[in-house]
A = this chain, B = another copy of it.
Amino acid sequence: MKQVTVGVVGVGVVGIEILNILRERNFPSKNIRVFARSERDIEIDGRLYTVEAIDKASFAGIDIALFAGTEGEAGASTLYASKFIEEGAVVIDNGSDFRMKDGVPLIVPQVNRERIANHKGLIANPNCTTIQMVVALGGIQKKFGLEQIILTSFQATSGAGRSAVSALWDESKAIVNSNDKAGNYADINKILPKTSGVFSHQIAFNAIPQIGSFQEGNYTSEEWKVIKETHKIFADSSIKVSATCVRIPVFTAHSEAIYFTVKEKATFNQIADVLAASEGVIYSAKPEDYPLALEVEGKDEVFIGRLRRDPFQENGFWMWCVADNLRKGAALNAVEIAECLLKD
C-alpha cells in the first residue's frame, strides 16, 4: 500500500486517540504532522509529537487530514478544511459542522463504505452516539428494514472533552472524601458546588437528560444528530427515529438501550444471526454476558447483548449496545475511513 502524509488537527481527547490508533494499526504513513492552536511538543505513550501552530502552517503535501473536532463547538474544520483541500488533501472531519451538508458523505465504513467514493475533498465522521447505533442496526436494516428506532443513551463524560472527564473525577473525589463514614451519603446534596462549569449540573452520582442545546420540539442538538445522521447514513428518512440522550457518571464508553421494530417479519434467531455476522460487532447471546462500559473502554468493536423480543409487539426488539465513544465513536471510525480511502 502506498505511504501517505497524514495531518491530525487537534490534540484533545479525540486527537490523542487518533494518534494512538494510527500507530496501533500501523497506518501506512510516511509522515504524521500534528496541528493545533499553539506550537508545542506533546508526548503520547512515550512517543514525542511536534505540534505545529495551525495558523502559521503550510498544508502542502498532506494526503489525508483528520480533524479531531469536538461535538458542540464550531470546529477548526470550518476555518481550515478548505485550505487543506486546496492543497490536495482529503479531509475527514470528526466535528459536526459538515455532516448534514449535501455532497459530503457521512460515513461509517461497516454500513455505507461505498459512498466514500462520492466525496469532493471532505468526508464527515458521524456523532459517537449515532455511529455505534448504526453499526449495531446496519445489518438488520439491510435484511429486514427498520420501521422505528427508539434510543435511550447512557453517555460517558469523555464525549464532552477532557474538562468533562476532570469534572466527574473532581466532583466524585470531593464527595467521597467529604465524609469518612462508608455509605454515608445523606449530605451529598449539600457538599459540592452543583456544577464545575462543564456540565449544567453536577454529574457525579447523577443523570443529566441533556446533551447539547435545546432545539426544535424540545429535542436536544444531540438527539437531532442521532435522528438526522441515522437517516443520512441509511439513506432512508422514512425510518421513525427518536431519542433521549442522557449523560451519566461514566468516564468512557457510551451504552445504549435501543428499541427497534423491523418492517419484514423476523424471528429472534434471525435477528441474532444477523448480529453475530455483522462486521465490527461482537454479539453476546447469553443474557448474562451483556457488555459494560468499563469493559468496553479501549476496545474497537461495537458490543451488543441483551437481545430480546417485545412480548407484545411482534416486530419489536431490544438490544443493549456499548462502544468506546472515543474510538469507534470518533477516532477509530475516522481512521477506518482513511484506510478505506487508501484501499478502494
Contact = CB atoms under 8 A, between A and B. Distances in A.
A195 to B, nearest CB: 11
Contact of A318 (B168, B227, B242, B255): B242
A273 to B, nearest CB: 16
A207 B246 contact: no
A240 B312 contact: yes
B248 A308 contact: no
Interface stretch (A70-78, A210-218, A330-338): A210-218
Contacts of A182: 166, 169-170, 173
Given A176-B173, A189-B295, A308-B219, A209 B250 contact: no
Interface stretch (A53-61, A124-132, A284-292): A284-292
A271 B201 CA distance: 27
A207 B169 contact: no
Contacts of A189: 294-295, 297-298
A22 interface: no
Contacts of A166: 182-183
A154 B246 contact: yes
Interface in A233-262: 240-242, 244, 246, 248-252, 255, 257, 259
A209 B307 contact: no
Interface string A170-184: 101101110000111
Nearest to A194: B294
Nearest to A310: B242
A49 interface: no
Contacts of A293: 205-207
Contact of A290 (B209, B252, B257): B209
A276 interface: no
A311 B166 CA distance: 36
A152 interface: yes
Interface in A308-338: 308-313, 316, 318, 320
9 contacts: A185-B251, A205-B251, A205-B293, A207-B248, A209-B306, A218-B307, A244-B257, A244-B306, A248-B248
Per CB-CB distance, the 4 closest pairs between chain A and chain B, nearest first, are: A166-B183, A152-B152, A240-B312, A173-B176
Given A162-B183, A169-B184, A169-B185, 5 more contacts: A210-B290, A240-B310, A240-B312, A244-B257, A246-B255
